[in-house]
Structure 1
């Protein structure tokens, strides 16, 4: 059970984030009061937003959790930069 597959969260983890975010928000709203309710709903919305972000990235075939930026950064190095390492 891998969490990250092909540069994005796996499908079961995206669904879990989405469901957990809604559950945390609704439970905080119904069971808590005052500032703790605000914090709970905010945390739930952040978890839900993370799952939604990963799902949209999957639909667009983006890889937000990939390490490909290291290859791009290395391709711009000059000979002097490579000798300093």
Structure 2
């Protein structure tokens, strides 16, 4: 089971994050009260925002969870050694 595929979350995981964020925020709003409701809604919105961020990055063909910066660092180190 791969969560990250091609530098972004897998499609099923993005949908899961989105649905879980809505469920946590709505559930805390309707089932809790006071500070617990606020904390639950904030956590739900953070989960939802993570899924939305990954989906937008996918639409723009960005790779926010890629580790290509390591390749760039190695290329600069090789140039410095010469």
Which residue pairs with 1:43 in the alignment? Answer: 43
Which residue pairs with 2:33 in the alignment? Answer: 33
Q: What aligned pairs does 1:1-85 form with structure 2 within 5 A after superposition?
A: 1-77=1-77, 78-79=80-81
- Once residues 29 and 54 of structure 2 are traced to their aligned partners in structure 1, the CA distance between those partners, rounded to angstroms, is 25
Deviation at 1:50, TM superposition (A): 0.1
Matched positions, count: 80
Deviation at 1:76, TM superposition (A): 1.6
Larger radius of gyration: 1
Extract structure 1 runs of 4+ deviating beyond 6 A: none
How high is the TM-score relative to the length of structure 2?
A: 0.93
- Once residues 45 and 73 of structure 1 are traced to their aligned partners in structure 2, the CA distance between those partners, rounded to angstroms, is 35
Deviation at 1:27, TM superposition (A): 0.3
Unaligned 5+ segments in structure 1 are 81-85
